[in-house]
Structure 1
Amino acid sequence: MTRYGTSRAAEAPPLQPDHDPSSHHLSITFEAFHATHSRKWLTYAYLHTGGEAAAREVTRAAFQQLYRLWPHALRQASVEAFAWSVLKERVVEWLYDHQQPTALTETAAFAVVTQALLRECQQQFALLESQLGLYAAISRLPERQCDVIVLRHVIGYGDGQIAALLGVDEATVRSHASRGKRKLAAALGIDQGTTRGNQP
């Protein structure tokens, strides 16, 4: 289960769309998708908006829009990628409407990213003195690289799930992750080939 801060925002928001008896199968498939992704989507929205109420608002709006578009979504090459684009649009729209930049660097959940990256990339980040430096560096990554880092290390999606969400293959996900880590090391002035033990 994804955890961030002490907020109750990890709880999935209830969704009760109007059910049309003639579309019972569509409702079942939508409810299954909602059950699978609601907590993770809520975490993503929380990371960017920085607040529980805002995250619930954004996530609910995204799922309501997706429910209206569900028959269309099921005809897409990737339902996950189409749905992800709906959530991303809602997040961007909320940030624009509230004239607010992403809250990635302020969100307590980003401590999860830091610890995961420090464990996975011990050599690259062994000399890191300020976690805030890493937060800021992650937020400045190209969008796809930032999303892969967040989806992997905060939200808990596997590479296969990330590939489906972003509409790419797993090799591309791994490439984004690798490039993101290299950019983080460069941005933080850390030589990826050095270790704590052989520093002058």
Structure 2
Amino acid sequence: MGEGEPEPSGAGNRAVSVTSAGVLPVDFTAFHSQQHRAYLRYAHLQLGNAQDAEEIVDDVFTFLLEVWPHALREASLHAFAWAALREHVERRLAVPGRRVAMVETAWFASLRRSSRDRLELLESKLGLYAAIAELPSEKQYDVVLLSFVLGNDSDTVGRMMGISPATVRSHIRGARRTLSRELGVDWIPGEDKDR
């Protein structure tokens, strides 16, 4: 499991099965099967709480099921669904006093997997996670979380967000420049060819 990833509890199917007593569209079932875990990992990283993440993701898939024929007519089903996920997460974060938990969630996930020798490295990661949380572009933020914090490749990130892998790489380059400035490190242009 990746950083900030909750253990799947099986509750992800709850809203979909409760919402529809009939047969679910095959294409919806396939989409749910392909995206549920990734959406859950993203929501957990943002919210810092597995139960909140499961509720949000259930709500997103319930919404998608309700508007499924419309969603299929969108230019990009994946972009439409990703926007719905972001909107649901942002609404949950809009509760007074609530903030994005990504910095702590990612750091503590790293800490659980680390030995004492790596604690110094983790302290520097905390600064990196804080800088990621401050990225000015929401697309760069999502691409960095999905690529580097959650460990997805450019093709997977592009599919999830409904953008091309080239656009993913472009967002990574922009984010690396911004993070380099914020963290006071030199950005080496050739570094981003690994994703």
Q: Give the TM interval when normalised to the shorter protein.
A: 0.7 to 0.9
1:61-100 matched pairs, under 5 angstroms: 61-97=59-95, 99-100=97-98
Q: 1:173 to 1:66 in 2, by over 3 A?
A: same
Change (3 A) 1:86 1:144: same
| Greater Cα shift, 145-154 or 167-176 | 167-176
Contact 2:107 2:122 in 1 (8 A): no
Per-residue Cα deviation, 1:12-47 (whole angstroms, up to 9, x for no partner): 622313144xxx5x6211111111010100000001
2:166 corresponding residue in structure 1 = 171
Determine which structure has the larger helix proportion and give its number.
Answer: 2
Structure 1 partner of 2:141: 146
Alignment deviations for residues 85-120 of structure 1 (CA, whole Å, 9 cap, x no partner): 1111100111113541111111036866xxxxxxxx
Q: What is the rounded CA distance, in whole Å, between the counterparts of 2:31 and 2:148 in structure 1? A: 21
Number of positions where the alignment pairs a residue of Structure 1 with one of Structure 2: 175
Candidates 116, 129, 135, aligned match of 1:135: 129
SS of match in other structure, 1:106 = helix
1:29 is paired with a residue whose SS is helix
1:36 match: 34
Alignment gaps of 5+ in structure 1: 113-126, 194-200
Of residues 34-43 and 94-103 in structure 1, the stretch that sits farther from structure 2 once superposed is 94-103
TM-score scaled by length of structure 2: 0.78
Following the alignment from structure 1 to structure 2, what is the Cα–Cα distance between the partners of residues 32 and 42?
16
Q: Is the 8 A contact 1:78 1:164 kept in 2?
A: no
8 Å CA contact retained: 1:49, 1:95: yes
Percent identity among equivalent residues?
40
Aligned to 1:45: 43
**Aligned partners of 1:10 and 1:42 also within 8 Å:** no
| Alpha-carbon distance between aligned partners in 2 of 1:29 and 1:177, rounded to the nearest angstrom | 31
Out of 184, 187, 192, the position equivalent to 2:182 is: 187
RMSD of aligned alpha carbons: 2.7
Deviates more, 1:152-161 or 1:184-193: 152-161
Question: d(CA) in 2 for partners of 1:184 and 1:40?
Answer: 24
* Structure 1 residue 182: Cα displacement: 1.7
Structure 1 residue 191 displacement after superposition: 2.0
Amino acid at match of 2:66: R
Q: Is the 8 A contact 2:107 2:129 kept in 1?
A: no
2:174, 2:60 → 1: CA distance? 30
For 1:18, the equivalent position in structure 2 comes to: 20
Q: Which has the higher Rg, Structure 1 or Structure 2?
A: 1
Q: Which amino acid aligns with 2:149?
A: V
Task: Quote the Cα distance in structure 1 between the aligned partners of 2:31 and 2:107.
Answer: 24
